[in-house]
Amino acid sequence: MNLLNILTVDGRVRYCRDCTMLADLAQSEVSRYVANAAFTSAVLYFKDGSSLQFVHSSRSNRSARASEDNTTAEKICRSLRQFRLNAKHLQLFFEDGSDAEFFTVV
């Protein structure tokens, strides 16, 4: 069994036992997903208090930025290969070949 480590807000390390892929880690650690009405900006909030902001207003203007270093958001951000943000979903593609989708509640 592969364990992915997660740094908590208070600096301790805990492990995601069922997480064998980076997409599993992202799915298990996200507490909330919010996107703007035009779906050009979105934020994933994580259980450790960090967040990951996405901007995708055109093919040339695309970015992902973690709120802080040494957080779940930074770990997810550094492991991203690509992301897709549109009215359907936010889809994250990871270096390990896995992907995770997040949907807004309408």
Q: Over the stretch 95-104, which tens digit does the pLDDT of each residue have?
A: 999 999 999 8
pLDDT at 3: 43
Note whether 63 and 85 are within 8 A (CB): no
pLDDT at 17: 55
Domain that holds residue 20: 4-102
Q: Global pTM? A: 0.80
pLDDT at 27: 92
- The distance from CA 35 to its chain's CA centroid, rounded to whole angstroms, is 13
Separation of alpha carbons 18 and 29, rounded Å: 12
Query: Number of folded domains in the chain?
Result: 1
Separation of alpha carbons 10 and 57, rounded Å: 35
Length of the chain: 106
Span 14-41, average pLDDT: 84
pLDDT tens for each residue of 35-87: 999 999 999 999 999 999 999 988 788 999 999 999 999 999 999 999 999 99
pLDDT at 104: 87
